[in-house]
Structure 1
C-alpha cells in the first residue's frame, strides 16, 4: 500500500509540474512594409511568449526595423552568425536543431532587436525557464513558413518589420450579427412551425402537387429516435475527429443537398404568390413529372440547386462565401424546425437534457481524453490545424471578426455558432407556439421561450469573452429555455397539459375561412339543416329524423385532368345525428365532445 501511495503521489507531482510549466503565449502581429516602396504594408500572424519580452500594443510605438533573411541557418552555434552580426535588425531563422533559448541568446548577443523563427510545422509557444527569461531582453516569435513566402513574394527581399500585439476587445461586433441571425431564425422557425402545424388540422383535402405534398410531411420525435440521434451524433463527431480529411467532403455534400431543400421550402410560399408561370408540365409518364408541377416551381428548384452549387464551388472564398453559407444555413434550420416536431414537453425535456450532456462532454471532458489535450467539439468545428485539406465544416453560422485583432488574423478569423445551438432550443420554441395556439394563451409561451433563448445566447457570449475559449452553447441555452417554459406553465396552472401535450386535444378555434362559411347567408339548396348540429336539451328528442342516404348531397368529383384536386366537402349531418369520426376531422369534434352538451 505504501508503494502504491508513493507512485500516486509521484504522478500527482509530475502532473502539477506539467501544469506549472505550461507556457503562457499570445498571438501578435508583424507589420511588413517594403524599403523601396510598393504595395501597402500588411500584417502577418505571429505566436510569441510575453515572458521573453513584451510587445507594444500600438503599432505607432513599435520600432520599424530591417528584416534580415537568415533562414538558410538555424542559428544554433556562433558559427551560424554573420560576420557583422544583426545590429539593429530582426533576423529570420529556421526552426529546429536547438532550443529557442539558444537561438535568441545568440541573436541578442550579436545586436539583434528581436527574433523571428520560421516554422513549417504547427506553431508552438517559444518556451524557456525563469532564468532564461530574466537573461533575454528581446522578443522572440514564431512565423509560419507560408507567411514568410508571401512576404518575400509581395514585398521583395528588402523589407522592414515591426512587432506588436494589440489588445483583444472584450466582445467583437460580429456577435451582434450572429445574435440577430440566431434569435431571428428561432423566432421565425418556431412561429412558422406552430402556425403551419395548426393550419393543417383544418385541411380537408390534400393537394396533388408532389412538391407541395412533401411540405405537409412532419416527423414526430419519439424517445427511441432521440436516443438513436444522439448515438449517431456522438459517432459522427468521433469519426470526424479521427478521419476529418476523408469525411469532411461527405458533410459538405450533405449540406449542399439539405440546404438546397431548405431554401426551396422557404421560397416556395412566396413563388406560389407570383402571378406568372402558372402553366404546368404536359402529361407524361416520368416518375415525378406525371404530377404535372408548375413551371415556376421547377425554375425554383433549379435556382436553389444553383445557389447551393455556387457555394460548394467557392466555399473557401473568405471575402463573401460566408454570406451564402449563412443564408443557406438559415434556410436549412427553418426547414428543419418546420419538419421535425416534438409532440410533448416531456419529449422536449428529454432531447434537450441529453444534448446538454452531450455538448458538455465533448467540449469540457474530451480534452482530458485526447493526446493533444484539445476539445473534440472545438477541434472538429474549427477544423484541425494539421488538416491536409484545410476544409471547414459548413454546419455553422459564421461571421468574420469586425475588429483588427490578432485572433482575427491568426487563430479564429470567424466567430461560429453551430446549427445545433439553433435547432435544439428552436424545437422547444416551436412546441411552445403550437401549445399557445391550442390553448389560446396569446403567445405567452412562445414569447417567453424566445426571450429566454436570447438571454441564454447573451450569457454564452459573455462566457466566451471571459474564458477566451470555445463554449458549449447548450450549457446556457438549455437551462434558460427549459426553466422558463416550465415556469410559465406552472404560473398558468397548465403544467399537466403542457407536459403531456393534452392541450392539443381541445377544441380548436375556428379559422377565418370556416367562420366565413358558417356566416354565409345562402345555405346549400339540397339541405335545410344548419351547418353544424346544435345541442339538444336533456331528454328531448331531435326535431327531425335522419334523412335517407340517397337524399344526402353528393361529394364533388376530383378533377384529374388539370393536375390539381378540387377540395371535397364532407356530407353534413342533420341536427341530432352525430357525424362519423374520421382521422382527419380533428377540427370538427362531435356534439358529445363539445362543452355544455350533455347526453
Structure 2
C-alpha cells in the first residue's frame, strides 16, 4: 500500500529513531585558593573516559597550580613558555589543532593536566587516540563563563584537580523507562489488534470502512523494508555531515508528527464518550466540536515543547508524553504483512545499528563512530575533517540542540555531577517502535486466525526480558548500548519458537491471514479466492 501524505512526516522521522544516545562523561574541576582548601569551588568539566580515568573522590588527590594560557592555542612549540609548564595544570584556548596534539605538546613540556576553554560552550574532547598512545595526562573541557567566575571568586592564583564522582549502577529512572517501554509496546500491539478487528468488520459492509482503513494504515512489504533501511543509512550520513541544519528539520517534523499522534491516541478515547458530539461545518468539512478542541490542545502542547525544549526541569515531561503517543500511533499504523517482513526489518536494522556503532570508528578520521557523533551532536563530538573540535553555542543563554527522538527521565541519584545539568536516563524511540511492530504483527495474526493471546503475550514478555538485559549490560559497562542487540534476538526467537510449537510457522511466516484480506479486497481469479478459503475467518 502506498504511503499517504498524512503519514509521510512520521515515516521520515522513523529514519532517525535508531540513534544510540551517548552521554558525554561529566567530571568535576575542584578549585582551591591554596592547599589548605579553606576557599574552594567546583565546576563542571567534560572528559573522555576512554583516554584516562579520574579518581572518584578528593581523597589523596594531587592539587596542581593552574597556569592560565588562554591567550594561546598550544598548537606549535613556539606557544610553549621558555621555562615550560613546570608540572602544573595548563589552561589553553580550544581550536586550530586537534585536542591530542595540544595534550602531547603540554605533556612533553612538563604539564600534568590540560584544560580546554571555549567561548562557545563546553564540549567533549574527541580525537583519534590510536595516533597519540603516548599521551597520558588527563584532558578536560570547561566553559569560558566558569573560568571567568573562577577568576572573580578565587583570583588568578589557584590550585586545581579533577575527579568524577561514582554513579550508582542502578537508578530508579531506569525502572521508569522500563515501564514506559513495556507499556508502550504492549498497548501499541493491543491497539493494533483492535484496529485489525475493526477493519475486518466494515470491509464486508461497504466501501466506507475500506477507505478509512487504506487512509489510516501503511503496510511495509519486504521490498519496502529493504528500501527503508537504505534510506536510514543515507539519512544518518546526512546528519553526520549537516547536523547543525538538519536537527531543526527533525525538531519540526517531530512536532507535527507527535501532535498528530497524540490527537489520534486521545481521539480513540474521546469518541467512546457519548457527550459533546455536536458538529460544525466549515469549508464543506464537518467535524465534532470536541475533536476541534482536542486538536488545538495537541498542537498547543507540541508548540510549548518546541519553545521550551531545552528547559531540563520540566520539558522532558512534554517530550515523553509526545514521544509515547508517537510510538503508540506508529505501532498501530505501520503494519507488517508477515513474519518474513518482520525478520528482514529487525535483522537489517540490527546490522545497521552494529555497523554504525562498532564498525565506523575504523573509518572516521577521529576514531569515533558515526552513531556516536550523530547522537551526541556536533557540540559534543569531533570535527569531521582534520580532527578539530566543532564548537557551537552552549552557554547558559543557549543550549545544544539534540535530536528529540528519546524518552527522557531524570536520574534520581543526585550527585555532584548535577553541576553539569540535570542527568537523564534515555531510551531511543526506535528501541520501542521496531520490536513493537513485531509485537503488533503477532497480535494481528492472532486476530486473523481467532487464536489465543500466546504470540502477543510471549513476545511482550521477551521484549521485557531483553530490555532488562540491556539495562544490566548498561549498568555493568557504564557505556551506551545498542538495545536492538538484545531486543531483536529475544523477540524474534520467542515468536519463532511459539509458531513452531503450534505448527503454524508456514502461515506465520507468509502471513496467510493477510492473503485473505488482500484477496477479499482485490479478487483477481477464482484460484486466488479458493486459496483464501483455506484460512479460517473471523465471524
- Give the TM-score, by structure 1 length: 0.66
Equivalent residue pairs, number: 470
Deviation at 1:317, TM superposition (A): 1.7
Deviation at 1:319, TM superposition (A): 2.2
Maintained 8 Å contact 2:70/2:117: no
Q: Which residue of 2 aligns with 1:420?
A: 430
Matched position secondary structure for 1:201: helix
* Match status 1:179 vs 2:183: no
In the alignment, the residues of structure 2 paired with residue 329 and residue 304 of structure 1 have an alpha-carbon distance, to the nearest angstrom, of 13
Provide closer, same or farther for how the CA distance between residues 346 and 398 of structure 1 changes in structure 2, counting only shifts above 3 A.
same
* Match status 1:77 vs 2:87: no
Q: Which residue of 2 aligns with 1:44?
A: 44
Unaligned runs of 5+ in 1: 1-24, 109-113, 134-138, 508-580
Q: Which residue of 1 aligns with 2:166?
A: 167
Deviation at 1:93, TM superposition (A): 5.5
Q: Which residue of 1 aligns with 2:328?
A: 334
In the alignment, the residues of structure 2 paired with residue 225 and residue 595 of structure 1 have an alpha-carbon distance, to the nearest angstrom, of 26
Deviation at 1:474, TM superposition (A): 1.8
In the alignment, the residues of structure 1 paired with residue 483 and residue 330 of structure 2 have an alpha-carbon distance, to the nearest angstrom, of 19
In the alignment, the residues of structure 2 paired with residue 334 and residue 593 of structure 1 have an alpha-carbon distance, to the nearest angstrom, of 33
Matched position secondary structure for 1:179: helix
Maintained 8 Å contact 2:47/2:124: no
String of CA shifts for 1:357-391, please: whole Å, max 9, x gaps: 22222222222222222211222122132263632
Q: Which residue of 2 aligns with 1:117?
A: 115
Provide closer, same or farther for how the CA distance between residues 116 and 504 of structure 1 changes in structure 2, counting only shifts above 3 A.
closer
Q: Which residue of 1 aligns with 2:492?
A: 482
* Match status 1:320 vs 2:314: yes
String of CA shifts for 1:412-469, please: whole Å, max 9, x gaps: 9443322222111111101111222333443111011011111222222333344444
* Match status 1:429 vs 2:439: yes
* Match status 1:501 vs 2:511: yes
Provide closer, same or farther for how the CA distance between residues 51 and 331 of structure 1 changes in structure 2, counting only shifts above 3 A.
closer
In the alignment, the residues of structure 2 paired with residue 169 and residue 247 of structure 1 have an alpha-carbon distance, to the nearest angstrom, of 35
* Match status 1:308 vs 2:302: yes
Maintained 8 Å contact 2:337/2:514: no
Matched position secondary structure for 1:144: strand
Higher-Rg structure is 1
Deviation at 1:582, TM superposition (A): 7.5
Deviation at 1:403, TM superposition (A): 3.0
Q: Which residue of 1 aligns with 2:144?
A: 146
In the alignment, the residues of structure 1 paired with residue 127 and residue 317 of structure 2 have an alpha-carbon distance, to the nearest angstrom, of 34
String of CA shifts for 1:233-268, please: whole Å, max 9, x gaps: 111111111111121111111111100110001111
Provide closer, same or farther for how the CA distance between residues 595 and 187 of structure 1 changes in structure 2, counting only shifts above 3 A.
closer
Matched position secondary structure for 1:190: helix
Unaligned runs of 5+ in 2: 1-23, 382-389, 394-399, 524-528
Q: Compare 400-409 and 235-244 and name the one that shifted more.
A: 400-409
Q: Which residue of 1 aligns with 2:251?
A: 252
Q: Which residue of 2 aligns with 1:262?
A: 261
Deviation at 1:200, TM superposition (A): 2.3
User: Relative contact order (alpha carbons < 8 A, sep ≥ 6): 1 or 2 greater?
Assistant: 2
Provide closer, same or farther for how the CA distance between residues 487 and 144 of structure 1 changes in structure 2, counting only shifts above 3 A.
same
In the TM superposition, 1:428-577 aligns within 5 A as 428-503=438-513
Maintained 8 Å contact 1:278/1:296: yes
Q: Compare 403-412 and 352-361 and name the one that shifted more.
A: 403-412
In the TM superposition, 1:45-60 aligns within 5 A as 45-47=45-47, 56-59=55-58
Provide closer, same or farther for how the CA distance between residues 93 and 583 of structure 1 changes in structure 2, counting only shifts above 3 A.
closer
In the alignment, the residues of structure 2 paired with residue 452 and residue 335 of structure 1 have an alpha-carbon distance, to the nearest angstrom, of 22
String of CA shifts for 1:181-221, please: whole Å, max 9, x gaps: 11111111001111221122123668989xx9589722221
In the alignment, the residues of structure 2 paired with residue 332 and residue 238 of structure 1 have an alpha-carbon distance, to the nearest angstrom, of 24
Provide closer, same or farther for how the CA distance between residues 276 and 476 of structure 1 changes in structure 2, counting only shifts above 3 A.
same
Provide closer, same or farther for how the CA distance between residues 140 and 373 of structure 1 changes in structure 2, counting only shifts above 3 A.
closer
Deviation at 1:105, TM superposition (A): 8.1
In the alignment, the residues of structure 1 paired with residue 124 and residue 422 of structure 2 have an alpha-carbon distance, to the nearest angstrom, of 15
Matched position secondary structure for 2:492: helix
Provide closer, same or farther for how the CA distance between residues 407 and 455 of structure 1 changes in structure 2, counting only shifts above 3 A.
farther
In the alignment, the residues of structure 1 paired with residue 59 and residue 306 of structure 2 have an alpha-carbon distance, to the nearest angstrom, of 42
Maintained 8 Å contact 1:119/1:142: no
Maintained 8 Å contact 1:48/1:126: no
String of CA shifts for 1:19-60, please: whole Å, max 9, x gaps: xxxxxx98631235899x9x99544125388999x8542246
Q: Which residue of 2 aligns with 1:6?
A: none
Structure richer in helix, relative to its length: 2
Deviation at 1:144, TM superposition (A): 2.2
Deviation at 1:76, TM superposition (A): 2.8
Deviation at 1:401, TM superposition (A): 3.7
